[in-house]
């Protein structure tokens, strides 16, 4: 996400505003159809050709999603006027380690920087139609037990109903703003890290409420009253209106409202159906078309630099009362007048979306890398490099959210800017992109850790470990 609501961003936004196009019309209809909704995640089964930049090694074939990944059936009956969502969740989950419990995170119940605006409650839980015990360890952590051990490799079909209530607007990922709603990190989700177990980091308000979730497949059904639209993660299923297929995604999110939408196809490098919607009545100095063009251009740039965008569709919704952007796989939420953060949020499609990370443990892995991606795209790398990092957080880029929780004023410099500076210190920016392309290929659909990035960088820069360590990267 972006939390850069300061003067620097304001300056960027004001500059960007002059680039807006007043035309509200959509681009001509796409000439290339998006991939079928049922397509699996984009696969690269052979090694990518070596990038042309000297010193960039052949990039390995992109890793593929775990065949035993969770399969979610998620239904959301959305009531925008009432500010409620009635949900049903069924997930087939196959742990790869024995475990004595199942955990679901209920992120809307986490601490908020502003007034509490949402709550998520769950109904009785079943496993294979058999009722089981569920308890709240804390407001965001639902624990399910059967009295025995859930064995590695044995699929479990877990089901529950849930209800989300929103009381009003919040500068956050779950919010109701008049006729529009943001629904991010809004349903019970399994925080399983394959090979490790349950991720139960404490919720840290206002920072990183989506934390760890494994790559999964989602069959998402959204039911809306007449007159409302939805922009969501995943590809709309043409055979089933209101259904979205989100294959190989760590999470899904959606925005509901009365949107003016524009669409185009990005070549990143496969065709990606891009749709941008702006809530009607939002007073905005840019138009949907300006955001659309920036999304398409950044998707295409990042597809070249970091490897293909992995899904057939991307959507962005602009809704009120949000100071920046919030990323989800295949869907980005932005507030009004946030043109300047668009490429940063698109960068998260690779760094957080495709290559996952625990946002509580390793926040710089997505924020620092998205900042790098956008800085080169926007031609502002020199400005990022010149920024002076406050001494209190210098050399601490690799710290977890528990470190940053009482340093919110230093978080942008310490994690976003310093993260991009650490990458810049490696050497030639084109070779840094090469290293990130290796990182993406090796860690796609997985939850990466800081040593994974150090290893990828060391494949290109022999002294990468020492360089990154001097910024506080934990190799």
Minimum Å distance from CB 267 to Zn ion? 24
What is the C-alpha to C-alpha distance for residues 190 and 107, in angstroms, rounded to an integer? 11
**Which CB sits closer to Zn ion, 187 or 411?**
411
What is the C-alpha to C-alpha distance for residues 186 and 119, in angstroms, rounded to an integer? 9
**Which CB sits closer to Zn ion, 289 or 344?**
344
Minimum Å distance from CB 119 to Zn ion? 26
Minimum Å distance from CB 355 to Zn ion? 14
Would you call 446 exposed, middle or buried from its count of C-beta atoms within 10 A (0-12, 13-18, 19+)?
buried
Residue 269: asked if its preceding bond is cis (omega within 30°), the reply is yes
**Which CB sits closer to Zn ion, 1 or 295?**
1
Q: How many residues bind Zn ion (CB under 5 A)?
A: 3
Which residue, 462, 469, 384, is CA-closest to 4?
384
The residues, ordered by sequence, that sit 6+ positions from 88 with a Cβ below 8 Å of its Cβ are 73, 74, 75, 159, 160, 161, 162
**Which CB sits closer to Zn ion, 270 or 337?**
337
What is the C-alpha to C-alpha distance for residues 438 and 448, in angstroms, rounded to an integer? 13
Which residue, 252, 311, 87, 281, is CA-closest to 178?
281
H/E segment holding residue 357: strand 356-357
| C-beta atoms surrounding 267 within 10 Å | 15
For tokens 């035993």, what's the residue? 68
- Closest-CB residue for Zn ion? 1
**Which CB sits closer to Zn ion, 187 or 372?**
372
112 to 131, contacts with Zn ion by CB under 5 A?
none
What is the C-alpha to C-alpha distance for residues 353 and 373, in angstroms, rounded to an integer? 14
What is the C-alpha to C-alpha distance for residues 107 and 174, in angstroms, rounded to an integer? 9
Per-residue x/- track, 366-395, Zn ion (CB under 5 A): -x--x-------------------------
Minimum Å distance from CB 81 to Zn ion? 32
- 1 part of the interface to Zn ion, by CB under 5 A: yes
Minimum Å distance from CB 173 to Zn ion? 12
**Which CB sits closer to Zn ion, 370 or 438?**
370
**Which CB sits closer to Zn ion, 1 or 9?**
1
**Which CB sits closer to Zn ion, 193 or 367?**
367
Q: Which two tokens stand for residue 1?
A: 């996400």
H/E segment holding residue 423: helix 418-424
Contact (CB, 8 A) for 305 and 221: no
Per-residue x/- track, 408-427, Zn ion (CB under 5 A): --------------------
Contact (CB, 8 A) for 392 and 410: yes
Minimum Å distance from CB 352 to Zn ion? 8
What is the C-alpha to C-alpha distance for residues 333 and 355, in angstroms, rounded to an integer? 19
Q: Packing angle between helix 429-443 and helix 450-458, nearest 10 degrees?
A: 130
Q: Candidates 1-9, 94-102, 135-143, 297-305 — which segment interacts with Zn ion by CB under 5 A?
A: 1-9
Minimum Å distance from CB 440 to Zn ion? 17
Angstrom CA distances, 290 to 20, 171, 317, 353, stand at: 5, 23, 13, 24
**Which CB sits closer to Zn ion, 313 or 370?**
370
Minimum Å distance from CB 326 to Zn ion? 8
**Which CB sits closer to Zn ion, 16 or 370?**
370
Minimum Å distance from CB 404 to Zn ion? 14
Minimum Å distance from CB 1 to Zn ion? 5
76 to 115, contacts with Zn ion by CB under 5 A?
none
Q: Which two tokens stand for residue 288?
A: 């949907």
Which residue, 47, 37, 86, 40, is CA-closest to 67?
40
**Which CB sits closer to Zn ion, 1 or 266?**
1
Q: Is the dihedral of CA 196, 197, 200, 206 positive or negative?
A: positive
329 to 368, contacts with Zn ion by CB under 5 A?
367
Minimum Å distance from CB 302 to Zn ion? 14
- Residue ranges in contact with Zn ion by CB under 5 A: 1, 367, 370
């Amino acid at each position: 996400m972006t939390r850069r609501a300061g003067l620097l961003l304001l300056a960027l936004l004001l500059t960007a505003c002059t680039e807006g196009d007043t035309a509200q019309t959509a681009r001509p209809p796409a000439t290339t159809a998006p991939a079928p909704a049922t397509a699996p995640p984009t696969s690269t089964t052979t090694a990518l050709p070596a990038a042309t930049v000297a010193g960039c090694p052949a990039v390995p074939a992109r890793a593929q999603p775990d065949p035993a990944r969770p399969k979610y059936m998620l239904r959301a009956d959305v009531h925008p006027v009432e500010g409620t969502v009635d949900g049903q969740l069924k997930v087939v989950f196959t742990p790869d380690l024995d475990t004595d419990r199942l955990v679901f995170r209920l992120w809307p119940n986490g601490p908020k920087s502003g007034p509490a605006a949402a709550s998520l409650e769950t109904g009785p839980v079943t496993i294979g139609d058999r009722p089981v015990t569920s308890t709240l360890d804390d407001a965001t952590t639902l624990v399910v037990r059967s009295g025995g051990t859930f064995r590695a490799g044995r699929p479990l079909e877990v089901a529950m109903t849930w209800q989300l209530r929103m009381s009003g607007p919040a500068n956050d990922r779950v919010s109701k703003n008049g006729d529009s709603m943001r629904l991010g990190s809004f349903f019970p989700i399994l925080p399983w890290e394959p090979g490790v177990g349950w991720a139960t980091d404490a919720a840290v308000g206002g920072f990183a409420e989506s934390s760890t979730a494994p790559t999964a497949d989602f069959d998402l059904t959204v039911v809306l009253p007449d007159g409302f639209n939805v922009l969501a993660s995943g590809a709309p299923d043409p055979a089933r209106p209101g259904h979205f297929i989100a294959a190989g995604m760590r999470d899904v999110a959606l925005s509901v409202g009365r949107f003016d939408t524009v669409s185009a196809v990005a070549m990143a490098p496969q065709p990606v159906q891009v749709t941008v919607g702006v809530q009607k009545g939002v007073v905005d100095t840019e138009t949907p078309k300006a955001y659309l063009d920036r999304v398409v251009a950044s998707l295409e740039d990042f597809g070249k630099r970091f490897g293909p965008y992995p899904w057939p569709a991307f959507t962005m919704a602009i809704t009120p009362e949000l100071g920046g952007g919030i990323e989800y796989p295949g869907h980005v939420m932005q507030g009004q007048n946030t043109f300047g953060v668009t490429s940063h949020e698109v960068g998260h499609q690779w760094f957080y979306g495709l290559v996952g990370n625990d946002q509580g443990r390793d926040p710089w892995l997505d924020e620092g890398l998205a900042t790098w991606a956008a800085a080169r795209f926007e031609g502002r790398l020199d400005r990022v490099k010149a920024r002076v990092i406050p001494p209190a957080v210098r050399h601490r880029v690799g710290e977890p959210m528990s470190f940053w929780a009482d340093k919110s004023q230093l978080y942008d410099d310490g994690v976003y800017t310093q993260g991009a500076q650490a990458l810049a210190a490696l050497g030639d920016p084109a070779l840094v992109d090469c290293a990130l392309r290796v990182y993406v290929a090796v860690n796609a659909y997985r939850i990466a850790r800081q040593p994974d990035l150090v290893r990828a960088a060391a494949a290109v820069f022999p002294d990468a470990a020492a360089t990154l360590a001097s910024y506080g990267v934990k190799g």
